[in-house]
Amino acid sequence: MRNKKGIIFAADIIEKSTLFEITQEVSPYIDAIKVGNIVLYTHGWEIITDLKRLTALPVIADLKLMDIPEIAERIAKSAAEAGVDGIIVCGTAGSDTIAACMRFIKDNMVFVFTEFTHCGGLIKRKMADDYIEIAQILGCAGIQVPGTKENRIRRVRKRVGNDLIIICCGVGSQNYCDRKKVKTSFGSAIAAGADYEIIGRAIYSPTTSVTPREAAMLAKKKILEVLGEKNY
């Protein structure tokens, strides 16, 4: 995933056959798969193996781990044994927990969760900056930055340079923020400096009549346009 830009598909689909069908359908247009706790709780670690076998794409476990180092380490070890390529850990847990997880994840592919995409999140900007600094000091692969906050992405990219992969969630979805709908367009986070846009509902449950495949193809097209590539 290093030195690339593209789409991480947030495969938050509970029904297994639908999960497999849609993921396989969109796989030509995505670069990695993110599996959240809602899917892991339902199907167990083996779902990671199944998805890797189905698509041969990297799988990131969005564990949002926020526990003491001893427990987090055991969970990270289980994820690694299941074949995961990366995990997401909450910066709130601190450097000792994050470092414990890194012992088991190959190539230091640990992503630190820094902020929420919605307005109700209680992580303050100073706290998020502290989490980014931890990721830099420990040598984590990257950080999560809200795709709904383009100015924030720009500031973070300027701060970290090319040291960290920036992945952005909330792209393409609609959320209420101060009683207003916020919609982020495909390619907007990458245009602001992100490496990957995490796209879920806008692909697997599009609001228009397009299919998941068509939605993924459109997202890829928009991103390639932003990158100045025309081979789509």
Strands 180-183 and 174-177: antiparallel
177 Rama sector, left if φ>0, alpha if ψ -120 to 50, beta otherwise: beta
Is 126 an annotated catalytic residue? Answer: no
- Assigned token pair, 27: 């796989």
Candidate list 64, 77, 106, 158, residue with the active-site label = 64
Amino acid at 4: K
Q: What are phi and psi of 65, to 5 degrees?
A: -60, 130
Q: Which of 225, 183, 231 is nearest to 208 (CA)?
A: 183
Residues acting as catalytic residues: 64
